[in-house]
Structure 1
Amino acid sequence: MKSPEASATAKQQSTVRWVVAIAAIALIFDGYDLVVYGTIVSTLLGDPTQLGEIGPATAGMLGSWALFGVMVGALVTGAVGDYLGRRKIMITGIVWFSIGMGLTSLANSVMVFGTLRFATGLGVGALVATAGAVVAEFAPKGKRNYYNAVVYSGVPVGGVLASLLAIVLMDHVGWRGLFLIGATPLLFLLPMALSKLPESPEWLMARGRTEEALHASIRTGIPISAPAPAQGAHVLAPIPADTKIGFLALASRKYALPTLLLGLMSFAGLLLTYGLNTWLPQIMSQFGYGKSYSLSFLLVLNAGAVFGGLIASVGADRIGAKRVVSTTFFLAAVAMLMLTLQLPFTILLALVAVAGVGTIGTQVLIYGFVSNYYNSSARGAGVAWCAGFGRLGGIFGPLIGGLLMAAGVENEIAFYVFSAVAIVGALVTACVPLRNSETNTPTRSAAQVEIAK
C-alpha cells in the first residue's frame, strides 16, 4: 500500500507534467506567431495585391504592432494576474490568441492586419506573462530553471514549426493559411487546459485562501511553502493580509532595483529575439542566399535556441541563472560579429545556431531567472513586467531592422548593432543583485499536513 507521501509525489509528478505540457504548447504558438510574420515579410513586400503597397519601414512597423500588443497584454496581466489567479489568465489567453490569429488570416488591408496583430498580441502577452509564474509554483525545487526552459523553449519550437510550415505549405495555402493554423489551439489546447490545468495552491495560499489551498494541494500533490503548523493545528498559516501584492511589491525596497535590471535584461533579449526572427531571412538574402536558404537560417536560429537553451538551463540550476545568462549574451555578440565574415555555409549555420542560443535561448533563461527571483505575491507581476517592458525591445527590434534596410546601409551594420545590444545585456545581467529565491521555510504537501494533524 502506498504511503501518503508516495501518493502525493505521484500526484505531483502527474500534475507537473500536465502543467508543463499545457504551458509549453501555449508558448509554441507564441513562437509560431513571432516567426510566421518573418516568413511572409518577403511576400508582403513583393506582392501589393495581398494587403496593399508595403515598404520595409511599414513591414517593420507591422511586426512591431504585434509586439506592442504583447507588451500591453503582459502589463495588464501583471496588474490583475496576481489577484485573479494563474488558471483564469492562461485560459483567457489561449482563447484570445486563437481567435486573433483566425481573424488575422482574413485581413484585407494594412490597417486591418496591423490592428488584428495588435489584438492577437494581447492574448500572447497574457500567456507569456503567466507561464513562468505557473511553472515556478508547480515545478519541484532544483528543477525550476529546467522546467522553465522546457516551457519557454516552446517559443523557438514554434519558430521552427513556422519556418518548416512556411517552406512546405507557403506555395499551397499562402500566408493566410499559415495564420489560420495559428488558430488551432482553440480546438485542442483549450479543452486540455479546462480539464487538466489546476489553480496554483501556492497562489491560493498567498491570497489567504487557506482551505482552498489545502484542498488543491491534496488534489494535485503540489507542496505548499509555509511554516510548519503548531502541534494539533488543522490549517496552514496564511500570508499576512498586509503583504504587498503585484506591482506594489515590485516597487518595494526589496525588489525595485532588481526589477529595473531584470526588465532591461528582457528588453535586450527580446530586441535580439524579434529583430533577428523578423529580419534574418532578408539580411541573409542580401548576402546572396536565396529564399529557401534564408528560411533555413531562420530554422537553424530557432533550433539552436531550443537545444542550447535546454542544455544551458541545466547549468542554470547548478551554478545559477545569472552566470549562464551573462555567458550566453556574450556568445551571441561574438557569433553575430562573425556572421559578417565571408565564411563557408556550414560554419555560418553553426554561428546562426550559437546566435539562437545567445538570443532566443537567453530569453528563455531570463524568464526562468525572473520567475524564481520573486515570491508568489510578486511573481506574476515580476514576470509580466519583464515580458511587458521587454516587449519594448521586441518592438524596437523589427523597427531597427526595418529602418536599417530602408536606409540602404550595408548588411553588416545590422549585425554590429545587434552585437552591441547583446554586450549591453551581458553587462546588465552581471549587475543584478544575487538573491536566494528559495524560501527558508519548509515545503510541506497537504498530505504531510494531514499526517501532522
Structure 2
Amino acid sequence: MNTQEHGTAQEHRATDPRHRATLRWIVAIATVALVFDGYDLVVYGTVVPVLLRDPGQLGTLTVAQAGALGSYALIGVMVGALIAGAVGDHIGRRRIMLTGIVWFSVAMGLSAFVTDLTVFGVLRFLTGIGVGALVATVGALIAEFAPPHRRNVYNAIVYSGVPAGGVLAALLALLASDGDGWRALFLFGAAPLVVLLPVALVRLPESPKWLQARGHTARARQVSERTGVPLPEAAPDPSEKQAKVGFAALATRRYALATLLLGLTSCSALLLTYALNTWLPEIMGQAGYGKSFSLVFLLTLNGGAILGGLTASRVADRFGPQRVIATTFVLAAVSLALLTLGLPLGVLLFLVAVAGVGTIGTQVLIYGFVSHYYDTVARAAGVAWCAGFGRIGGIGGPVVGGALMGAGLPPAYAFHVFAGVAVLGTLVTILVPRRAAASARAPEASAPGALTGGGASVLAHE
C-alpha cells in the first residue's frame, strides 16, 4: 500500500461511524470476557484459606494439594491457548471467542456445586482451557479491528481486564461469608454465560481481514460493508493460498527466532506476575507488615498494572511497543530491588505500583506487541504461543517464590531473584528482530514498531 492509499484507509478508519461502533462493541465484549478470565484465575487464591480450614467443603486439603489445585488452572490456560492457536487461524476469531466464553463459564459454574476434591481439580483445569482460549484470541481480534495508530491502547484496555478481574475477586471475597460463601464466588464466575454470550452472539463479527486472508473474499466484503472495517487494498493472491498457516507459519525462517524470543519474553513477565501475586503478601508479612496490609499490597500491584499499562500503551503507539516493553522491564527490576531497602510505607506502595507496571502491565504490552508482529494467517498462533509458552513462567512463578520462602532466606533474596528475571526479560526483548517486510501481495502485514523503527514501521507495513 502506498502512502496515499494508507492515508485514505487511515482516514476511513478514523471517521467511519460503522467502524467506530463495531470497535466499541468488540472492545467492550473482549474486556468483559478478560475481566472474568482474571476473576476466575484469582478467585481460587481467595478461597484457599476456607478450603484448608473446613474439610466439610471438599474434603481434607493439605497445603501441597492446595498448591497443586492452583496450578491446574494455569496448566489448563497453557493447553487452551495452544489449542486456540492451533485452530484459530483456520476457523476464525469469532468461533473461538464464543466457545471460550461458554467453556469457562460452564466449568466455573459447575465448580460451585462440587463436593469432591478430584472433580474440583478437573474443573479447575477445564476452566483454565476456556480462559487460555480467550486470552490467546483477543489480541488477534483487536489487532484486526483497531486502527493501527491506536492498537496498543485498545489492546491495553482489553488486557487490563485480567488484573481488573483480580481486583474484583479480592473485593468480592471480602463480602463472602465463611463456610459455603466461596461457592457463590465461583457461581458468579459463570455470569458471562447469561450476560456476555447473548451480546457476543449479536455484536461480535468475524474479522474481515481473516476472511479475506483465508480466501472468503465475498463474505469478507459483506462483513466489511456491514461493520465499516476496511479491507486491505490487495486481495490475496491465489498462488499464496497454500502458504503455511497457524503454528506451521511460526516455524518458518521469517518467524522462528522471533517466536522463541517472544515466548521467553512472555515467560519472564508471567513468572513475575504470578510470583508476586502469590507471594507478595507473605514476603511483606515476613518483612514486618501485618496481614491487614496483604490486600492493600495486592490491590496496589494490580491497580498500578492497570493505570500504568494504559499509559505505557499510549507511549507504545507513538514509539513502538518493543522499546516500551524493555523500559517497563527495567522499571520492574529497579522497583523490586528498591523494595529490599526498608523504605517508608508510602514509598513501598509506590514501588509496588511501579512493579505492577513492570510485570502485569508489561505482559499486557507483550500481547499487543505479539499480535502486531504476525500476519493475519499466523496471528492467532503467535498470540497463543505467547500465552501458552509464557504460561510455563506463570506456573513456575509460585514454585520459585515458594522455594525461596521455604528455604528460610530473608525476603530481600526473593526480590533480588525477581529483579534478575526482569533484567533477563529486558535482554530478551531487545534481541527480538525487526519483522521481515511482508510480500507486496500479502493481504495484510502489520509490522510492530521496533527499537529503531517505532510507530513508523507499523505504518510502513500496514
The normalised TM-score by structure 1 is 0.90
> Which amino acid in the other structure matches residue 316 of structure 2?
A
Q: Deviations over 1:36-63 (max 9, x none)?
A: 2232334444444443444444333222
Task: Tell me which residue corresponds to 2:183.
Answer: 176
User: Which of 20, 37, 42 pairs up with 2:27?
Assistant: 20
The answer to whether the Cα contact below 8 Å between 1:267 and 1:394 also exists between their aligned partners in 2 is yes
Q: CA deviation at 1:225?
A: 1.6
Name the CA shift for 1:418/1:439 in 2 (closer, same or farther; >3 Å).
Answer: farther
User: Which of 153, 163, 168 pairs up with 2:170?
Assistant: 163
Task: Tell me which residue corresponds to 1:87.
Answer: 94
The answer to whether the aligner puts 1:118 opposite 2:125 as a matched pair is yes
The answer to whether the Cα contact below 8 Å between 2:39 and 2:168 also exists between their aligned partners in 1 is yes
Q: Aligned partners of 1:399 and 1:69: how far apart in 2?
A: 17
The answer to whether the Cα contact below 8 Å between 1:206 and 1:239 also exists between their aligned partners in 2 is no
> Which amino acid in the other structure matches residue 122 of structure 1?
I
Q: Deviations over 1:198-231 (max 9, x none)?
A: 000000001100000011100110011232x7xx
Task: Tell me which residue corresponds to 1:259.
Answer: 259
User: Which of 35, 38, 46 pairs up with 1:31?
Assistant: 38
Q: CA deviation at 1:174?
A: 2.9
Q: CA deviation at 1:344?
A: 1.7
**SS of equivalent residue, structure 1 residue 208:** coil
Task: Tell me which residue corresponds to 2:224.
Answer: 217
The answer to whether the aligner puts 1:67 opposite 2:84 as a matched pair is no
Name the CA shift for 1:442/1:424 in 2 (closer, same or farther; >3 Å).
Answer: closer
The answer to whether the Cα contact below 8 Å between 2:111 and 2:120 also exists between their aligned partners in 1 is yes
The answer to whether the aligner puts 1:371 opposite 2:371 as a matched pair is yes
The answer to whether the aligner puts 1:192 opposite 2:199 as a matched pair is yes
The answer to whether the Cα contact below 8 Å between 2:237 and 2:442 also exists between their aligned partners in 1 is no
Task: Tell me which residue corresponds to 2:451.
Answer: none
User: Which of 113, 129, 135 pairs up with 2:136?
Assistant: 129
**SS of equivalent residue, structure 2 residue 253:** coil
Q: CA deviation at 1:295?
A: 1.2
Task: Tell me which residue corresponds to 1:448.
Answer: none
Task: Tell me which residue corresponds to 2:3.
Answer: none
Q: Aligned partners of 2:13 and 2:319: how far apart in 1?
A: 30
Task: Tell me which residue corresponds to 2:450.
Answer: none
Q: Aligned partners of 1:190 and 1:379: how far apart in 2?
A: 24
The answer to whether the Cα contact below 8 Å between 1:150 and 1:310 also exists between their aligned partners in 2 is yes
The answer to whether the Cα contact below 8 Å between 1:170 and 1:178 also exists between their aligned partners in 2 is no
Q: Deviations over 1:175-204 (max 9, x none)?
A: 222222111111111011001000000000
Q: CA deviation at 1:397?
A: 1.2
Task: Tell me which residue corresponds to 2:448.
Answer: none
Q: Aligned partners of 2:173 and 2:437: how far apart in 1?
A: 41
> Which amino acid in the other structure matches residue 302 of structure 2?
N
Aligned counterparts, 1:276-425, within 5 A: 276-425=276-425
Name the CA shift for 1:107/1:337 in 2 (closer, same or farther; >3 Å).
Answer: farther
User: Which of 105, 108, 120 pairs up with 2:115?
Assistant: 108
User: Which of 157, 160, 173 pairs up with 1:153?
Assistant: 160
Q: Deviations over 1:255-306 (max 9, x none)?
A: 0000000000111111111221122233333333333320111111111000
The answer to whether the Cα contact below 8 Å between 2:237 and 2:441 also exists between their aligned partners in 1 is no
Name the CA shift for 1:237/1:439 in 2 (closer, same or farther; >3 Å).
Answer: closer
Q: Aligned partners of 2:442 and 2:17: how far apart in 1?
A: 20
Q: Aligned partners of 1:442 and 1:378: how far apart in 2?
A: 12
The answer to whether the Cα contact below 8 Å between 2:54 and 2:179 also exists between their aligned partners in 1 is no
The answer to whether the Cα contact below 8 Å between 2:212 and 2:443 also exists between their aligned partners in 1 is no
Residue correspondences, number: 434
Q: CA deviation at 1:437?
A: 7.8
Q: Aligned partners of 1:145 and 1:170: how far apart in 2?
A: 40
Q: CA deviation at 1:418?
A: 1.7
The answer to whether the Cα contact below 8 Å between 2:37 and 2:162 also exists between their aligned partners in 1 is yes
> Which amino acid in the other structure matches residue 404 of structure 1?
L
**SS of equivalent residue, structure 1 residue 386:** helix
Report the more deviating stretch, 403-412 or 140-149. Answer: 403-412
Q: CA deviation at 1:345?
A: 1.6
Name the CA shift for 1:193/1:49 in 2 (closer, same or farther; >3 Å).
Answer: same
Name the CA shift for 1:55/1:7 in 2 (closer, same or farther; >3 Å).
Answer: closer
Report the more deviating stretch, 317-326 or 238-247. Answer: 238-247
Aligned counterparts, 1:216-235, within 5 A: 216-227=223-234
Task: Tell me which residue corresponds to 1:450.
Answer: none
Q: Deviations over 1:135-154 (max 9, x none)?
A: 00000111111111111111
Q: Aligned partners of 1:52 and 1:407: how far apart in 2?
A: 29
Name the CA shift for 1:172/1:51 in 2 (closer, same or farther; >3 Å).
Answer: closer
> Which amino acid in the other structure matches residue 247 of structure 1?
F
Q: Deviations over 1:98-138 (max 9, x none)?
A: 11111222333443332211110000010000000000000
Task: Tell me which residue corresponds to 2:18.
Answer: 11
Report the more deviating stretch, 240-249 or 55-64. Answer: 55-64
The answer to whether the Cα contact below 8 Å between 2:329 and 2:422 also exists between their aligned partners in 1 is yes
Higher relative contact order (CA 8 A, sep 6+): 1
Report the more deviating stretch, 208-217 or 113-122. Answer: 113-122
Q: Aligned partners of 1:443 and 1:14: how far apart in 2?
A: 24
Q: CA deviation at 1:412?
A: 2.7
> Which amino acid in the other structure matches residue 197 of structure 2?
L
The answer to whether the Cα contact below 8 Å between 1:63 and 1:278 also exists between their aligned partners in 2 is no
Q: CA deviation at 1:171?
A: 4.8
Gaps (5+ residues) in structure 2?
A: 1-10, 445-462
Q: Aligned partners of 1:7 and 1:267: how far apart in 2?
A: 35
Gaps (5+ residues) in structure 1?
A: 230-235, 445-453
The answer to whether the Cα contact below 8 Å between 1:159 and 1:302 also exists between their aligned partners in 2 is yes
Report the more deviating stretch, 305-314 or 337-346. Answer: 337-346
Q: CA deviation at 1:248?
A: 0.8
Report the more deviating stretch, 238-247 or 424-433. Answer: 238-247
Report the more deviating stretch, 168-177 or 216-225. Answer: 168-177
